[in-house]
Amino acid sequence: MKLGKVELCHFLQLIALFLCFSGMSQAELSRSRSKPYFQSGRSRTKRSWVWNQFFVLEEYMGSDPLYVGKLHSDVDKGDGSIKYILSGEGASSIFIIDENTGDIHATKRLDREEQAYYTLRAQALDRLTNKPVEPESEFVIKIQDINDNEPKFLDGPYTAGVPEMSPVGTSVVQVTATDADDPTYGNSARVVYSILQGQPYFSVEPKTGVIKTALPNMDREAKDQYLLVIQAKDMVGQNGGLSGTTSVTVTLTDVNDNPPRFPRRSYQYNVPESLPVASVVARIKAADADIGANAEMEYKIVDGDGLGIFKISVDKDTQEGIITIQKDLDFEAKTSYTLRIEAANKDADPRFLSLGPFSDTTTVKIIVEDVDEPPVFSSPLYPMEVSEATQVGNIIGTVAAHDPDSSNSPVRYSIDRNTDLERYFNIDANSGVITTAKSLDRETNAVHNITVLAMESQNPSQVGRGYVAITILDINDNAPEFAMDYETTVCENAQPGQVIQKISAVDKDEPSNGHQFYFSLTTDATNNHNFSLKDNKDNTASILTRRNGFRRQEQSVYYLPIFIVDSGSPSLSSTNTLTIRVCDCDADGVAQTCNAEAYVLPAGLSTGALIAILACVLTLLVLILLIVTMRRRKKEPLIFDEERDIRENIVRYDDEGGGEEDTEAFDMAALRNLNVIRDTKTRRDVTPEIQFLSRPTFKSIPDNVIFREFIWERLKEADVDPCAPPYDSLQTYAFEGNGSVAESLSSLDSISSNSDQNYDYLSDWGPRFKRLADMYGTGPESLYS
């Protein structure tokens, strides 16, 4: 009869219960003579009970409390005078005791994996006195394990790698499952491993969980990853055991088991002959199924006729072979090249050398294409020399260029004027002969670097460039001169034969043997009694005194002409004048002062006179400043109107005209001849802007008689006034006459009255009346609209 999983589990529980009951029969209280018991007030007695372990089955699923065991004391006569109490772990909460009978029961489901045993203490008490009749004893309740936990892979899922082409039995990874059941009781925690998915490539050791390869020559290039499912089952793998699974991802790592192979046996590329050196001609690549370092390549040219013309290198990122040019290509010299190129793995694995050579070759043919090239000079640089004394038009040298193409077009020459801005040279367009166009001076420019252009006659866009370095040869055309501006002094207490100056010379020329200068005094200065010259024969000369007793009062400056000759052929000479000042010196011969006027009394004004003149000038400036200040204050108005409401303001322009010289603003005759009554005239310096058409015009003839009388009165007063200014001045009077036809223009009455007078015509009088038009107008822009 075959039992199912559930029936087998119940069967095992019944067996465990049987074992538990048989153990409890041994654990009941019995008389023991091992230890004495002392009780106060009584004689020594022997211990009446001992304890053994109790066992209880875990995961009990019954409805009634689970019977654990029974406590009994020899003192208990069964008359109910003894009661039993329980304390310790789980007392009252998990384990209860019948105080009359001593029966112990478990009230909750127990799990050994949570707690494997409980330690409790039991005691028998007299029910009346509540005093112990037996000493307290400790006992243990152990939880009996059942197979209720499946194995678990705590570290799963797993990932691992193994090299491809590994032999059978190569260890990949070890998996470990743990079972929470008791490993010391039965087979509940004894685990066995098996593989559910991943055959026939891998296997697993049943006891250790080590995964190994099961097939040889597994190729990463065919399949690089495998997913395994590993099972762990307890009860030693028997039926009824619990199991758990995990996944293992195994990746095949690469090894160098594939040689490189070119996809094609031959390649062909076309390149122009004008391609510069170091340019890329082609990129080729050998295929390799491996990856990473196993696919790294090395390329080299093993044969062909372009070994010195081309080279090949590897691109580290793409592992391509890059063919570049090492020398210039020339279609007229060679039209094609053939290269045999080999590709090989950088690091070969000796285990796989038997599979064949880990290299491959291919043929590359390079076709050179003809292009129209510019003319080429016979030399990259033409060094030339010419004397700076050469005449204009003399030949310096010749350059030559030719067309490298098969057409061999004629070449015309010219000078790049950006390299010869001063146009010192010319070149014959047909022959390439370079001649001088101007006089040359080595001291101005010793070397001329010019660029010669050569262009094809048939295609002027093709231009070649040649470089010419013209060195100007020196001739002796510059006379020597002092090396610097000397400041020579002689002390008044100088002694005869004393050296007062050492001089040298310079020459702009550069003779091949170096400079050699000769110094002497001129013929006129040879017989002077003051100074002499000594040539030191080392391009220097010394100036010496011939006498003593120099006096600044007698002569403060001496001029000594010196004759200098160079060693050129022909030699050149020059006369340079040395200025020597007489100075007052201290005891060490150091000049203190060289001013001759310090001993001469001034012939001009004295210091006191100069101070007096300066004081007068300052006083005059102060008076002028005071007068200007007073005149400015006199012109300031006496009454300052504060800003008021705009309706009560009188617009003031402060226009005083141009003075007496402004004869265009008004007629001066009105003041000179008061008997003349003139018609109203318009200003001749102002052009009328607007014709007054919006209002009838009235001919305004002021009453000149009133103003004439007013002016005569004021004129008489000014003539007899002793305080009047003693010069012509402008007198201003605030006299407005007797009235106006337009009556009052004040706005004080117009606001309070119901006047219907229209002032819109003010806007037609021009910009000078715009303010009044804004104040009194009735248009949309009026201030009071």
Q: How far is it, in rounded angstroms, from Cα 271 to Cα 611?
A: 97
For the entire predicted model, the pTM comes to 0.45
Largest CA distance in the chain: 172
For tokens 């050998």, the residue is: 286
Residue 311 β-bridge partners: 324
Under a CB-based contact definition with an 8 Å cutoff, are residues 367 and 281 in contact?
no
User: Domains, the chain, ranges and CATH?
Assistant: 53-144 (2.60.40.60), 152-253 (2.60.40.60), 266-369 (2.60.40.60), 376-473 (2.60.40.60), 481-593 (2.60.40.60)
**pLDDT tens for residues 196-240?**
999 999 999 999 999 999 999 899 989 999 999 999 988 877 787
How many CA within 13 A on the CB side of residue 327? 9
Under a CB-based contact definition with an 8 Å cutoff, are residues 450 and 415 in contact?
yes
Q: Which two tokens stand for residue 95?
A: 């384990």
Q: How far is it, in rounded angstroms, from Cα 243 to Cα 245?
A: 7
DSSP string, 487-526: -EEEETTPPTT-EEEEEEEE-S---TT----EEEE-TTTT
Q: How far is it, in rounded angstroms, from Cα 92 to Cα 99?
A: 12
Under a CB-based contact definition with an 8 Å cutoff, are residues 545 and 585 in contact?
no
Q: Cis link prior to 460 (omega < 30° from 0)?
A: no
- Model pLDDT, residue 616: 93
**Torsion from C-alpha of 620, 624, 627, 633, nearest 10 degrees:** -140
Which letter does DSSP use for residue 178 in this model?
B
Q: Cis link prior to 570 (omega < 30° from 0)?
A: yes
Amino acid at 290: D
The number of residues in the chain equals 785
625 Cβ contact list (under 8 Å, min separation 6) = none
Under a CB-based contact definition with an 8 Å cutoff, are residues 188 and 215 in contact?
no
- Model pLDDT, residue 321: 95
CB atoms within 10 A of CB 43: 6
DSSP string, 305-333: S-TTTEEEEE-TTT--EEEEESS---TTT
Rounded to the nearest 5 degrees, what angle is found at the Cα of 659, between the Cα atoms of 658 and 660?
130
Q: Which two tokens stand for residue 82?
A: 């003894």
Amino acid at 209: G
Residue 368 β-bridge partners: 271
Residue 398 β-bridge partners: 433
Beta strand 36-37 with 45-46 is antiparallel
Under a CB-based contact definition with an 8 Å cutoff, are residues 377 and 400 in contact?
yes
Q: How far is it, in rounded angstroms, from Cα 204 to Cα 233?
A: 13
- Model pLDDT, residue 697: 41
Under a CB-based contact definition with an 8 Å cutoff, are residues 579 and 559 in contact?
yes
**pLDDT tens for residues 584-626?**
888 888 888 887 544 444 445 567 788 889 999 999 999 999 9
Residue ranges, the chain, pLDDT below 50? 1-10, 16-50, 597-603, 638-640, 642-644, 646-647, 665-666, 670-702, 751-753, 780-785
Q: What percent of the chain has pLDDT over 90?
A: 36
Under a CB-based contact definition with an 8 Å cutoff, are residues 254 and 161 in contact?
no
DSSP string, 639-652: --PPP--GGG----
Q: How far is it, in rounded angstroms, from Cα 469 to Cα 90?
A: 113
Q: 43: helix, coil or strand?
A: coil
Q: 624: helix, coil or strand?
A: helix
Phi first, then psi, for residue 518 (nearest 5°) are: -125, 130
- Model pLDDT, residue 12: 54
Q: How far is CA 152 from CA 185, 233, 557, in A?
A: 19, 9, 120
